[in-house]
Amino acid sequence: MTATISFDRLSDVYDSTRGLPPGISEQITDTILDIVSPTSETKFFEIGVGTGRIAIPIAKRGYSYTGIDVSEKMLSELHRKLEGISHLLTAVKGDASTLQFADNSFDVGLTVHVFHLVSAWKQALAEIRRVLKSGSVYLYTHGTMDSNLANPNHDLMFRQRWEDIIASYGYPLPRYGATEEEVLTELRAQGASLETVIAAKWQSELTVNKSLEHYQNRVYRPSWHLPDDVFAKAIDDLRGWALEHYGSLDYDLSSETKFKIVVVRNWA
Ligand SMILES: C[S@@+](CC[C@H](N)C(=O)[O-])C[C@H]1O[C@@H](n2cnc3c(N)ncnc32)[C@H](O)[C@@H]1O
Protein backbone atom coordinates (compact mmCIF):
# COMPACT_ATOMS: atom_id res chain seq x y z
CA MET A 1 0.00 0.00 0.00
CA THR A 2 1.29 3.49 -0.81
CA ALA A 3 1.52 6.31 1.74
CA THR A 4 -1.99 7.24 2.66
CA ILE A 5 -3.97 9.32 5.15
CA SER A 6 -6.17 7.43 7.56
CA PHE A 7 -9.64 8.78 8.07
CA ASP A 8 -10.24 6.34 10.95
CA ARG A 9 -10.08 9.22 13.43
CA LEU A 10 -12.90 11.04 11.61
CA SER A 11 -15.42 8.27 11.05
CA ASP A 12 -17.61 9.31 14.02
CA VAL A 13 -17.85 12.96 13.00
CA TYR A 14 -17.45 12.79 9.21
CA ASP A 15 -21.18 13.02 8.47
CA SER A 16 -21.84 15.75 11.03
CA THR A 17 -18.99 17.90 9.69
CA ARG A 18 -19.07 17.02 5.97
CA GLY A 19 -22.69 15.96 5.51
CA LEU A 20 -24.75 17.54 2.77
CA PRO A 21 -27.72 19.76 3.73
CA PRO A 22 -31.27 18.40 3.28
CA GLY A 23 -32.22 18.11 -0.38
CA ILE A 24 -28.68 18.57 -1.69
CA SER A 25 -27.82 14.90 -1.61
CA GLU A 26 -30.91 14.18 -3.75
CA GLN A 27 -29.92 16.93 -6.22
CA ILE A 28 -26.44 15.43 -6.55
CA THR A 29 -27.86 11.93 -7.01
CA ASP A 30 -30.34 13.19 -9.65
CA THR A 31 -27.54 14.96 -11.53
CA ILE A 32 -25.30 11.89 -11.47
CA LEU A 33 -28.12 9.70 -12.76
CA ASP A 34 -28.98 12.27 -15.47
CA ILE A 35 -25.36 12.28 -16.65
CA VAL A 36 -25.02 8.50 -16.63
CA SER A 37 -28.52 7.39 -17.75
CA PRO A 38 -28.07 4.05 -16.00
CA THR A 39 -30.01 0.86 -16.71
CA SER A 40 -30.69 -1.96 -14.27
CA GLU A 41 -27.41 -3.52 -15.53
CA THR A 42 -25.21 -0.51 -14.77
CA LYS A 43 -22.45 -1.10 -12.23
CA PHE A 44 -21.14 1.91 -10.29
CA PHE A 45 -17.69 1.96 -8.71
CA GLU A 46 -16.27 4.48 -6.22
CA ILE A 47 -12.78 4.86 -4.80
CA GLY A 48 -12.64 6.34 -1.28
CA VAL A 49 -16.32 5.62 -0.67
CA GLY A 50 -16.01 6.76 2.96
CA THR A 51 -19.27 6.73 4.93
CA GLY A 52 -21.29 6.43 1.72
CA ARG A 53 -22.24 10.11 1.41
CA ILE A 54 -22.48 9.73 -2.39
CA ALA A 55 -22.85 5.94 -2.65
CA ILE A 56 -25.81 5.25 -0.36
CA PRO A 57 -28.31 7.57 -2.09
CA ILE A 58 -27.43 6.02 -5.48
CA ALA A 59 -27.59 2.47 -4.12
CA LYS A 60 -30.96 3.29 -2.49
CA ARG A 61 -32.30 3.97 -5.99
CA GLY A 62 -31.64 0.30 -6.75
CA TYR A 63 -28.29 0.38 -8.58
CA SER A 64 -25.39 -1.99 -8.14
CA TYR A 65 -22.59 -0.05 -6.43
CA THR A 66 -19.14 -1.14 -5.33
CA GLY A 67 -16.93 1.04 -3.16
CA ILE A 68 -13.49 0.68 -1.68
CA ASP A 69 -11.76 2.62 1.08
CA VAL A 70 -8.56 2.26 3.11
CA SER A 71 -10.33 3.20 6.36
CA GLU A 72 -12.05 0.36 8.16
CA LYS A 73 -13.81 2.77 10.49
CA MET A 74 -15.26 4.83 7.62
CA LEU A 75 -16.47 1.54 6.09
CA SER A 76 -18.00 0.45 9.44
CA GLU A 77 -19.93 3.70 9.58
CA LEU A 78 -21.17 3.11 6.03
CA HIS A 79 -22.30 -0.40 6.94
CA ARG A 80 -24.02 0.89 10.08
CA LYS A 81 -26.04 3.31 7.93
CA LEU A 82 -27.09 0.49 5.63
CA GLU A 83 -28.58 -1.67 8.41
CA GLY A 84 -32.17 -2.56 7.64
CA ILE A 85 -32.02 -1.20 4.09
CA SER A 86 -32.23 -3.50 1.09
CA HIS A 87 -29.48 -2.55 -1.33
CA LEU A 88 -26.86 -3.68 -3.85
CA LEU A 89 -23.94 -1.85 -2.25
CA THR A 90 -20.68 -3.67 -1.61
CA ALA A 91 -18.10 -1.67 0.30
CA VAL A 92 -14.77 -3.29 1.07
CA LYS A 93 -11.31 -2.35 2.20
CA GLY A 94 -8.94 -1.52 -0.64
CA ASP A 95 -6.31 0.90 -1.84
CA ALA A 96 -6.84 3.16 -4.84
CA SER A 97 -3.44 2.37 -6.30
CA THR A 98 -3.87 -1.44 -6.38
CA LEU A 99 -7.48 -2.37 -7.03
CA GLN A 100 -8.53 -5.93 -6.37
CA PHE A 101 -10.99 -6.04 -9.32
CA ALA A 102 -10.66 -7.56 -12.77
CA ASP A 103 -10.25 -5.43 -15.90
CA ASN A 104 -13.50 -4.10 -17.41
CA SER A 105 -15.61 -4.69 -14.29
CA PHE A 106 -17.66 -1.47 -14.00
CA ASP A 107 -19.68 1.00 -16.12
CA VAL A 108 -19.34 4.20 -14.08
CA GLY A 109 -16.40 5.35 -11.95
CA LEU A 110 -16.58 8.03 -9.25
CA THR A 111 -14.12 9.72 -6.93
CA VAL A 112 -15.20 12.50 -4.58
CA HIS A 113 -12.68 14.44 -2.50
CA VAL A 114 -10.03 11.73 -2.50
CA PHE A 115 -7.21 12.51 -4.93
CA HIS A 116 -5.68 15.16 -2.63
CA LEU A 117 -4.98 12.25 -0.26
CA VAL A 118 -3.50 9.69 -2.65
CA SER A 119 0.24 9.98 -3.20
CA ALA A 120 0.22 7.40 -6.03
CA TRP A 121 -2.58 9.27 -7.79
CA LYS A 122 -1.36 8.53 -11.33
CA GLN A 123 -1.35 4.84 -10.48
CA ALA A 124 -4.87 5.24 -9.05
CA LEU A 125 -6.04 6.83 -12.31
CA ALA A 126 -4.52 3.93 -14.26
CA GLU A 127 -6.31 1.48 -11.98
CA ILE A 128 -9.67 3.21 -12.40
CA ARG A 129 -9.21 3.13 -16.17
CA ARG A 130 -8.32 -0.55 -16.03
CA VAL A 131 -11.41 -1.63 -14.06
CA LEU A 132 -13.83 0.48 -16.12
CA LYS A 133 -15.36 -1.01 -19.24
CA SER A 134 -14.57 0.62 -22.55
CA GLY A 135 -16.85 3.62 -23.11
CA SER A 136 -17.55 4.10 -19.38
CA VAL A 137 -17.98 7.53 -17.87
CA TYR A 138 -15.79 8.66 -14.97
CA LEU A 139 -17.10 11.36 -12.60
CA TYR A 140 -14.41 13.35 -10.82
CA THR A 141 -15.09 15.71 -7.91
CA HIS A 142 -12.03 17.17 -6.27
CA GLY A 143 -13.74 18.78 -3.27
CA THR A 144 -16.56 21.11 -2.33
CA MET A 145 -14.41 23.94 -1.05
CA ASP A 146 -14.51 26.86 -3.48
CA SER A 147 -10.93 27.19 -4.63
CA ASN A 148 -11.43 30.52 -6.39
CA LEU A 149 -8.48 32.43 -4.94
CA ALA A 150 -9.57 35.69 -6.56
CA ASN A 151 -12.79 35.55 -4.55
CA PRO A 152 -12.04 33.34 -1.57
CA ASN A 153 -14.88 32.16 0.60
CA HIS A 154 -14.50 32.18 4.36
CA ASP A 155 -13.60 28.50 4.61
CA LEU A 156 -10.70 29.19 2.33
CA MET A 157 -9.62 32.30 4.24
CA PHE A 158 -9.57 30.33 7.50
CA ARG A 159 -7.68 27.56 5.77
CA GLN A 160 -5.08 29.94 4.32
CA ARG A 161 -4.58 31.63 7.67
CA TRP A 162 -4.22 28.24 9.36
CA GLU A 163 -1.63 27.13 6.81
CA ASP A 164 0.35 30.36 7.38
CA ILE A 165 0.24 29.86 11.15
CA ILE A 166 1.36 26.22 11.12
CA ALA A 167 4.11 27.01 8.61
CA SER A 168 5.35 29.76 10.96
CA TYR A 169 5.82 27.06 13.64
CA GLY A 170 7.83 24.91 11.23
CA TYR A 171 4.97 22.51 10.36
CA PRO A 172 3.85 23.39 6.82
CA LEU A 173 0.95 21.43 5.46
CA PRO A 174 2.31 18.16 4.06
CA ARG A 175 1.40 17.58 0.44
CA TYR A 176 0.13 14.03 -0.19
CA GLY A 177 -1.82 13.70 -3.39
CA ALA A 178 -2.75 15.74 -6.42
CA THR A 179 -4.34 19.13 -6.99
CA GLU A 180 -7.46 19.27 -9.13
CA GLU A 181 -5.51 20.91 -11.95
CA GLU A 182 -2.91 18.12 -11.93
CA VAL A 183 -5.58 15.44 -12.26
CA LEU A 184 -7.49 17.25 -15.01
CA THR A 185 -4.29 17.99 -16.93
CA GLU A 186 -3.32 14.32 -16.74
CA LEU A 187 -6.76 13.21 -17.93
CA ARG A 188 -6.62 15.62 -20.88
CA ALA A 189 -3.11 14.38 -21.73
CA GLN A 190 -4.55 10.85 -21.83
CA GLY A 191 -7.08 11.97 -24.45
CA ALA A 192 -10.15 12.37 -22.23
CA SER A 193 -12.81 14.96 -22.94
CA LEU A 194 -13.94 16.86 -19.85
CA GLU A 195 -17.18 18.67 -19.12
CA THR A 196 -17.92 20.51 -15.86
CA VAL A 197 -21.35 20.21 -14.29
CA ILE A 198 -22.45 22.00 -11.11
CA ALA A 199 -24.66 19.40 -9.46
CA ALA A 200 -25.76 21.60 -6.56
CA LYS A 201 -25.16 24.97 -4.90
CA TRP A 202 -26.02 25.86 -1.33
CA GLN A 203 -25.24 28.30 1.47
CA SER A 204 -22.96 26.58 3.95
CA GLU A 205 -24.02 27.85 7.38
CA LEU A 206 -21.02 28.94 9.41
CA THR A 207 -20.03 31.41 12.13
CA VAL A 208 -16.55 32.34 13.32
CA ASN A 209 -17.21 30.33 16.48
CA LYS A 210 -18.29 27.21 14.55
CA SER A 211 -15.27 27.38 12.29
CA LEU A 212 -12.91 27.73 15.28
CA GLU A 213 -14.66 24.77 16.91
CA HIS A 214 -13.95 22.61 13.84
CA TYR A 215 -10.25 23.51 13.97
CA GLN A 216 -10.17 23.03 17.73
CA ASN A 217 -11.70 19.55 17.35
CA ARG A 218 -9.12 18.66 14.71
CA VAL A 219 -11.75 17.66 12.18
CA TYR A 220 -9.56 18.97 9.35
CA ARG A 221 -6.59 17.03 8.02
CA PRO A 222 -4.27 20.09 8.05
CA SER A 223 -4.02 19.78 11.84
CA TRP A 224 -3.31 16.07 12.09
CA HIS A 225 0.46 16.30 11.66
CA LEU A 226 0.98 18.82 14.50
CA PRO A 227 2.30 17.85 17.93
CA ASP A 228 -0.23 18.77 20.65
CA ASP A 229 1.78 21.69 22.07
CA VAL A 230 2.20 23.30 18.64
CA PHE A 231 -1.45 22.64 17.85
CA ALA A 232 -2.52 24.47 21.07
CA LYS A 233 -0.41 27.52 20.16
CA ALA A 234 -1.65 27.51 16.58
CA ILE A 235 -5.29 27.41 17.72
CA ASP A 236 -4.68 30.41 20.02
CA ASP A 237 -3.18 32.29 17.08
CA LEU A 238 -6.11 31.38 14.81
CA ARG A 239 -8.61 32.52 17.46
CA GLY A 240 -6.71 35.80 17.91
CA TRP A 241 -6.65 36.41 14.15
CA ALA A 242 -10.34 35.55 13.75
CA LEU A 243 -11.44 37.88 16.55
CA GLU A 244 -9.35 40.74 15.20
CA HIS A 245 -10.42 40.15 11.60
CA TYR A 246 -14.16 39.55 12.15
CA GLY A 247 -14.72 41.40 15.45
CA SER A 248 -17.09 38.81 16.94
CA LEU A 249 -17.38 35.06 17.40
CA ASP A 250 -20.95 35.31 16.08
CA TYR A 251 -19.88 36.85 12.77
CA ASP A 252 -21.72 35.10 9.96
CA LEU A 253 -19.32 33.34 7.59
CA SER A 254 -21.98 31.56 5.50
CA SER A 255 -20.99 31.34 1.89
CA GLU A 256 -21.91 29.58 -1.32
CA THR A 257 -20.62 26.06 -1.73
CA LYS A 258 -20.76 24.17 -5.01
CA PHE A 259 -20.68 20.48 -5.76
CA LYS A 260 -18.79 20.35 -9.04
CA ILE A 261 -18.52 17.20 -11.10
CA VAL A 262 -16.05 16.87 -13.95
CA VAL A 263 -17.55 14.41 -16.41
CA VAL A 264 -14.73 12.44 -18.03
CA ARG A 265 -15.55 10.73 -21.34
CA ASN A 266 -13.59 9.05 -24.14
CA TRP A 267 -11.04 7.88 -21.60
CA ALA A 268 -11.89 4.40 -20.33
C1 LIG B 1 -12.64 13.18 2.38
S2 LIG B 1 -13.12 11.49 2.45
C3 LIG B 1 -14.32 11.41 1.15
C4 LIG B 1 -15.29 10.26 1.29
C5 LIG B 1 -16.40 10.20 0.24
N6 LIG B 1 -15.85 10.09 -1.09
C7 LIG B 1 -17.26 11.42 0.35
O8 LIG B 1 -17.22 12.29 -0.53
O9 LIG B 1 -17.98 11.54 1.34
C10 LIG B 1 -11.76 10.67 1.73
C11 LIG B 1 -11.85 9.16 1.81
O12 LIG B 1 -10.82 8.61 0.99
C13 LIG B 1 -10.26 7.50 1.68
N14 LIG B 1 -8.90 7.25 1.14
C15 LIG B 1 -7.78 7.98 1.35
N16 LIG B 1 -6.75 7.44 0.69
C17 LIG B 1 -7.23 6.35 0.03
C18 LIG B 1 -6.64 5.36 -0.82
N19 LIG B 1 -5.34 5.40 -1.12
N20 LIG B 1 -7.43 4.37 -1.31
C21 LIG B 1 -8.76 4.32 -0.99
N22 LIG B 1 -9.36 5.22 -0.18
C23 LIG B 1 -8.61 6.22 0.32
C24 LIG B 1 -10.29 7.93 3.15
O25 LIG B 1 -10.18 6.86 4.03
C26 LIG B 1 -11.64 8.63 3.22
O27 LIG B 1 -12.68 7.75 3.57
Confidence of residue 253 (pLDDT cuts 50, 70, 90): confident
User: What is the tens place of the pLDDT at every residue in 221-233?
Assistant: 888 889 999 999 9
Q: Mean of the pLDDT values across residues 232-250?
A: 95
Contacts of 25 (CB under 8 A, 6+ apart): 53, 57
149 pLDDT exceeds 50?
no
What is d(CA 130, CA 182) in angstroms, rounded to the nearest whole number?
20
Confidence of residue 145 (pLDDT cuts 50, 70, 90): low
Gap from CA of 114 to ligand 1 centroid (Å): 5
User: What is the tens place of the pLDDT at every residue in 68-106?
Assistant: 999 999 999 999 999 999 899 999 999 999 999 999 999
Angle at 118 between CA 167 and CA 179, to 5 degrees: 60
Angle at 178 between CA 48 and CA 21, to 5 degrees: 50
Verify whether ligand 1 is closer than 6 Å to residue 184 (CB atom).
no
User: What is the tens place of the pLDDT at every residue in 167-187?
Assistant: 999 999 888 899 999 999 999
Domains located in the chain, CATH noted: 1-142+179-202+258-268 (3.40.50.150), 147-174+207-252 (1.10.8.900)
What is d(CA 54, CA 109) in angstroms, rounded to the nearest whole number?
12
Verify whether ligand 1 is closer than 6 Å to residue 5 (CB atom).
yes
Model pTM? 0.90
Verify whether ligand 1 is closer than 6 Å to residue 127 (CB atom).
no
Q: Mean of the pLDDT values across residues 163-168?
A: 96
Minimal-distance CA residue to ligand 1 atom 10? 114
CA nearest to 200, candidates 248, 258, 246, 159: 258
